[in-house]
Every structure is written in C-alpha cells, then in structure tokens.
A and B are shown apart, each in its own frame.
Chain A
Amino acid sequence: MADVAQSQVSQGHTQGHAQGHDGETRRDFLTLTASALGVVGLASAIWPFIDSLNPAKDTLALSTTEVDLGPVQAGQRLTVVWQGKPVFIDHRTDAEIKAAQDVDISTLRDPQKDSDRVQEFQGKKQTEWLVVVGVCTHLGCIPLGQKQGDDRGAYGGWFCPCHGSVYDTSGRRRDGPAPANLAVPPYVFTSATAIKIG
C-alpha cells in the first residue's frame, strides 16, 4: 500500500495531478481523514461549553421539595416552590372533589379523569389532595386562585389573568387558550400528611 501511495505522489509532482485507479488521490484521502478528525475534535471540544449551560449540580440539588400537609385545613390552598416553580396544593372539600369527578371528560380539550390526577397512599387514592404545577400551560403565567378573594374562574379552580384560561377544581383546562391541564408534578406521600415533590 505504502509503495503504491509513494509512487502516486512522485507522479503527482511531475504531472500535477496524482491519479489513483479510480480518480482519487492520496491527498484526497488525507484531506478527508484529517478533516473528519478535525470535526470530531472540534465537536468534542465544543460540547463542554454547551453542557456548562445545562443546570449545574447545585441547581439539580434543589429538585426535590418536601411539604408537611398537616396544617392545611380542608378548603385551604398552599403554594410551595419546587425547582423554582410554584406548586399549588389544594386540600379540596367534598363538594370540590365531587365537582371534579362528575365532569364528562369527553368534553375536555385535554381529557383526564380526576382519579388520574391524584396520588395513592397505602393503596388508597388521596382524593382530598390535589397537587399541580402552578404555571399556566398557555404561556407560563401564574393563575389566580391561591389567595382569599382571588378570581377562581367559572369552575372554582384557577383563572389565569394573562390570557383568560380557566381551570377547574382538578386543575384541568376548561376554557381559554391553554392547550393542556395544569401539570401534576411527580410526588409521593411519605406519610398520610406529608409529600415529597420531585
């Protein structure tokens, strides 16, 4: 192989173009392999700079939040922070649970049963606790409804003041431009009155 390549190069000097059997030169081969190696090297050098923009270790360390539900009375709503986002915790009254369960989900834009939006503890659905991420699925505003006297919209859940999306007592989108229900974050009951989000 090496001898063949050598003779091609010496031909190249005299003829100007070192032609191989199928019209490719040793120089083409070297250019191609060197460029390929250069591209791989450059890409692997760029990756650390891009990855450094991803969440850092201390940011990831803030990705779980533990909440004591004990003091929250039925009918009260609590806002906690998880990954920098507000999470709405609603200790729902029986009327609110019934309203959420009685909806015909085929009428919803994002059909989901209320029972799929609450978590179990020791095999039993904890229907009185609704936990949703308090970020409107339209363009990221925080809906009203957590404070006394807030406008909760026509379905008694939440109402987004930015563009008028309306959510029911299960946090499902009922009206307005929002494409989806308020997201249910990953969480587990660590006891009957405590949850860990994230």
Chain B
Amino acid sequence: MPVTGTGRASRIIRWVDYRLPFVAMLEHEMNEYPTPRNLNYWWNFGSLAGMILVIMIVSGIVLAMHYTPEANLAFDSVERIMRDVNYGWLIRYIHMNGASMFFLIVYIHLFRGLYYGSYKYPRELLWMLGVVILLLMMATAFMGYVLPWGQMSYWGATVITNLFSAIPVVGQKVVTLLWGGFVVANPTLNRFFSLHYLLPFVIVGVVVLHLVALHSHGSNNPLGIDHRGPQDSIPFHPYYTIKDLFGLCVFLIFYAIIVFYMPDALGDAQNYIPANSLQTPPDIVPEWYFLPFYAILRSITFDVLGIPSKLVGVLLMFSSILVLFVVPWLDTSRVRSARFRPIYKWVFWLLVIDVITLGYVGHHPPQGSIVTVGQFATLYYFVHFLILLPLIGKIERPRPLPTSIGAAVLGSAAAGND
C-alpha cells in the first residue's frame, strides 16, 4: 500500500521510498503480511527470541566498554563492573541471565516447531536456518561464559576445547591451534572475546534470512493447514504486534524477577573464584542449557566397533544437534500438527521428558545409576529421531483435518459467509 496524503511528512516518506523502499517494506511486512488468525501463545516465542537478542547485543556492547580481555585483568574488570561501574551489576546480571532466557525461549520455540510440524514442506530451510542460529548461540554462549575468567570459565573452556582432541590424528594439533598455546591462556581469552563480539552479529544476519524464509510462506499455525483465503488470516499489525507486546511484558516480569531477586541462581558459585590453571574445581558442570548435550557426551563409557569412547561421545553430542537438520526428511507424516496425529502427540511428550532427564543426568556426577539412566536417555533420544519419527508417519492414521483455518475457528457457517 503506497503512502498517501499530502502533508510534508508523507511527501518526504514518498521521496525516500521511491529511492529506498524502507517504509513500503515495513508496510508490506507488517500491515499486509497475512498471519493465520488462530496462532496461540506458543507463537510468541519467535518474537521474544528477537527481543532478547537485541537486549543481549545492547547490554553486551555496554559491558565490552568496561571489560578487559586480558588474562591478568579480566576477572578484576568484571568485579569492577559489579562494584564500581554505575549500574554495572544490573547490566551484567541482565546479560548473564539473558543468555539463560535466550536459550529458554529458543528451546520452547524449537519444541513448538516439533509439535506443530513447522519444519515440514515448504518450511524446511526456515527450520534449518533456525538450527544454524541455535549452533551459533551455543558457540557464543560458551565463549561468553569464558570471559569472566573464573574457575568455571577456565575449566569449562579447557573441557570443551578438549572435545576436539578426540579427532583422530590431528586432534591435539587442532586443540593447540584453538588455544594459541599449550593450555587455555591469554591468547585463548583474546580470541574468544573477539568471536563473542562477532558471532551475535552473524546471528542477526541468519535471523534476517530466517525471517525472509518465514515471510515467503507465512507462519505455520496450530492446525498445521495452509491458508486458503482471506477468511483464514488477519494482518500482523495490530493483532500480533499487540499480542507479541503483551507476551513481551509477561516475559519481562519473569526476567526481572530473576535479574533482581535471584541473579546468581542459574550460575555457578565457582565462577566467582579467579581462574587457576593448576587447580580443577571438584565438579565441572556446564550452564543448564548445555546439560542434556553434556549428558550425551558423558554417557558413552565404552568403545563402539573399535572407535574410542571419547570420540563416540563427542560425535554423538554433535549429532544430537545435527540430527535436527534432517528432521524435515525423517518425519514421513504429511500432517503437520500433532493435534491430528494420535501417536506422535504422545511420542513428542516422551521426547520432552527424555531431554529433561538428560538435563538432570548432566547436572549430577556420573556415578552409579545416573550413568545407566543417561545411557538409556541418550539411546531414546536417537531412537526418537532416527526410528520413531520415520516409523510413526507410516503406521499412524491421522485424524481428519479441518477444511480451512477460518472454518475451524469461526465455525463452518461463518467461514462460508465470509
């Protein structure tokens, strides 16, 4: 819709738009973009993820103005942020807990996609770009966690970089390259800081691609059926801008409670001890959002077909995320939404329970029954994706789909009259 009106402002907007169609693009993507009229609150988490990305970048840029990426000064500079910099404590707690919020939001967003089949035709690339964002987030979060240069920073960096030593033949050379030395030290900290500043902007770039892919076919919806006409959709603005803003307010209340009343609840007290390269903390535990993957890594305690257990564990851990890339082709069912899939609906929740179990296992020391539980949970994780997902699509009889979104929401009479 072109900007109309004869006022000075609209004349300026038209002049700019003729040369750089920015307002026209906004208009097209916000006012004209048709959105399914039946989106539920699980669809809020995409825009929430975008918001928290902005919060992380803004708070991160300000923190970088006060932080010193040098091994002898890094810890003290973080303490200076906490004690001396005006509102430094607030900005650091926003950033630190923001990482947890980002993962929480993205995991809900991801499971929503799995439940409603948002990865299926024609949204396969949209889904895969999402997995790329997840991988970038993990790298960014890991390197950010190293920057305060406390004990967990240091030993987390040591353990995670040592994953690459599992690579046959060149493993140790790769690790030395990552470290820029023979242990995690100042060169490691410097490069992690540089990448931690860079990767969020790479994420922004992939988010733009994610949105372009989203807007070519529009949002999926709880019914998982396509738009068939104007009775199925409403404009994004004002309906979903308002709904997203309301969701943002609710989320900000939750986030503020954590930032102001329990800022260290999700962190590890060990990280307030300066890094010591000669003393490993008694118990190395990653941040909560890495626990399921950490459990998969640790659950392989035996060699498989002559491949050392260390390498198998690392391969499985990376595979547990990489398998998400091929989910659109592993799922053989043509029905998107689990609402109409009587078997998958339950299997989905089993996966949720399985991932939470893996998280529990990852949090506890690998001793006794924890190891066994972790091994079964790991096995089930891959069984879900590699066996159940293809199989259920073949044997399941989906329930009948509604004829249109409008018919399902408004009743068939209203939809017909529209």
Contacts and interface: CB of A to CB of B under 8 A. Distances in A.
A98 B86 CA distance: 48
A48 B86 contact: yes
Nearest to B83: A57
A52 B87 CA distance: 6
A58 interface: yes
Contacts of B80: 56, 58
Interface string A45-56: 000110111101
B86 A52 contact: yes
Nearest to A61: B84
Interface string B65-97: 110000000000000100111111011000000
A53 B91 CA distance: 12
Contact residues on B (Cβ < 8 Å of other chain), bracket: 10 to 19
B62 interface: yes
A51 B83 CA distance: 14
Contacts of B66: 52, 56
A49 B91 contact: yes
A53 B88 contact: no
B91 A52 contact: yes
Interface in B13-63: 58-59, 62
A48 B87 contact: yes
A58 B66 CA distance: 12
B86 A51 contact: yes
Q: Identify whether the interface residues of A are mostly helix, strand, loop, or mixed.
A: helix
Q: Which of A52, A57, A58 has the largest count of B CB atoms less than 10 A from its CB? A: A52
A56 B91 contact: no
Q: Which of B80, B86, B87 has the largest count of A CB atoms less than 10 A from its CB? A: B86
A49 B87 contact: yes
Contacts, number: 35
Given A56-B80, A57-B84, A58-B80, A48 B90 contact: yes
Contacts of B58: 49
Contacts of A52: 62, 65-66, 85-88, 91
Nearest to B90: A48
A49 B88 contact: no
A36 B283 CA distance: 49
Contact residues on A (Cβ < 8 Å of other chain), bracket: 10 to 19
Contacts of B84: 56-59
A49 B85 contact: no
B90 A53 contact: no
A54 B84 CA distance: 11
B352 to A, nearest CB: 34
Nearest to A49: B62
A47 to B, nearest CB: 8
A58 B121 CA distance: 58
Contacts of A48: 86-87, 90-91
Contacts of A59: 84
Q: Which of B58, B65, B66, B85 has the largest count of A CB atoms less than 10 A from its CB? A: B85
A175 to B, nearest CB: 40
A48 B59 CA distance: 10
Contacts of A53: 62, 65
B350 to A, nearest CB: 41
Interface string A19-51: 000000000000000000000000000001101
A52 B90 CA distance: 10
B152 to A, nearest CB: 25
A43 to B, nearest CB: 14
Contacts of B86: 48, 51-52, 54, 56-57
Q: Which of A49, A51, A54, A58 has the largest count of B CB atoms less than 10 A from its CB? A: A49
Contacts of B87: 48-49, 51-52
Interface in A74-90: none
A53 B87 CA distance: 10
6 contacts: A49-B91, A51-B86, A52-B62, A52-B87, A52-B91, A56-B88
Interface of B: 58-59, 62, 65-66, 80, 83-88, 90-91
Interface of A: 48-49, 51-54, 56-59
The 7 closest A-B pairs by CB, nearest first: A48-B87, A57-B84, A56-B84, A58-B84, A56-B85, A51-B86, A52-B86
Given A48-B87, A53-B65, 6 more contacts: A48-B86, A49-B91, A52-B62, A53-B62, A56-B84, A57-B86
